[in-house]
Structure 1
């Protein structure tokens, strides 16, 4: 399984080179499918979504597909995922993405597809693999309002692959409250490991190996 879990996507040469290495062939020979599902639960202007999609499209893929996880038959979704060499899950509300995977009975089939593809997550798209994506972590991290927005008080992690939790956008100008003091307050309450990633950092998972690729700053608290 090859996962590239980023804060803001393929934003620098180190992360892009990691993708090329994991893919094993030129991007121009690869099919990518973009999953916008997480973004659909976020209100307001979606210019940021168009910016992310255009940036990804500009890399020159053989085929650029867009797939919403809700509303289509399960087998259709899995076939579209299986057709892709790279599955790219965009940002937004991680709980909506997780609920969409679980609610449409996609988790097991999704994991099977990931045995033969590369998964790239952007922000919310990177957060759904932790077994600690729960209502408890929502309270600890301070994301409970994003869960309650969906009319939910509990959340089932769709994959549960790791005990560590990933929180993106450390030091980001778009989230000015996410500084070291903010991270320290979370760590003081947390009873699970956390990676805090800035917007120039990614976690690379290759089977059982986990490492960090960064042109910026990040923190890990076991």
Structure 2
């Protein structure tokens, strides 16, 4: 599987061109599944999910002109047969994972079975993350974000859905499909917690490489090799 991890979707031509390169064919010839689940953790999440699917969200993703586009709602998957949705995931060209709370998203990725399926997908599959949808594939944990909320001052914590045994075994950690972590929306004017000064202090306490990326920046990961695509600004830290 290939990763295209963004802060704000296909926000410029460089990121969009990179998506086409990763797909290996035009978007108009590619299939995609949209995963809006992460945004339900916020007030008004249902409306924001609709905006994402309809293609009018602030982060361009679903409106790119896909050959086919479906919705994969993770909270519904535990209640239906796997053969109703697993083949769709295995056959799609791109998974479009919307933003929101990464810990809520991680919880439902595990509960649905998608987390176990992701490492088994074909190398050609492209995972496209936006904000929290990008963060969830890193090795972040709830404790690392104490004091600095990635997206909202009333950050929903997945730990409330886990018993103590889960916490002791590390189930509050994100997926760790890549060997670095990232923080989106660097220096966004409406997110003072995402200032460079704040994030530099946070990054100093993280034990894996950290990428701070703004809304004009994305990361690609292919076979463990990370490359930065940017028309904005970003910074990398190594402890």
Partners of 1:77 and 1:156 in 2: CA distance: 26
Q: How far 1:191 moved relative to its partner?
A: 3.2
Corresponding residue SS for 1:34: strand
TM-score (norm 1): 0.88
Task: Name 2:141's counterpart in structure 1.
Answer: 134
Contact persistence 1:195–1:218 (CA under 8 A): yes
Task: Name 1:202's counterpart in structure 2.
Answer: 218
Partners of 1:147 and 1:192 in 2: CA distance: 24
Q: How far 1:75 moved relative to its partner?
A: 3.8
Corresponding residue SS for 1:170: coil
Map 1:1-222 → 2, pairs under 5 A: 1-44=1-44, 48-53=48-53, 54=55, 55-72=60-77, 73=80, 74-131=82-139, 133-139=140-146, 141-142=148-149, 146-148=155-157, 151-152=160-161, 154=167, 155-157=171-173, 159-222=175-238
TM-score (norm 2): 0.82
Give structure 2 stretches of 5+ with no counterpart: none
Corresponding residue SS for 1:19: helix
Contact persistence 1:163–1:193 (CA under 8 A): yes
Partners of 1:114 and 1:59 in 2: CA distance: 23
Stretch of structure 1 that moved more, 28-37 or 54-63: 54-63
In the TM superposition, what whole-angstrom CA distance separates every residue of 1:164-192 from its partner, at most 9, and x where no partner exists? 21110001123133212111221343333
Corresponding residue SS for 1:88: strand
Contact persistence 2:34–2:62 (CA under 8 A): no
Contact persistence 1:38–1:93 (CA under 8 A): yes
Stretch of structure 1 that moved more, 66-75 or 197-206: 66-75
Corresponding residue SS for 1:58: helix
Contact persistence 2:142–2:157 (CA under 8 A): no
Contact persistence 1:7–1:123 (CA under 8 A): yes
In the TM superposition, what whole-angstrom CA distance separates every residue of 1:107-156 from its partner, at most 9, and x where no partner exists? 2212212533111000011011222x213212264459635366247444
Contact persistence 1:96–1:150 (CA under 8 A): no
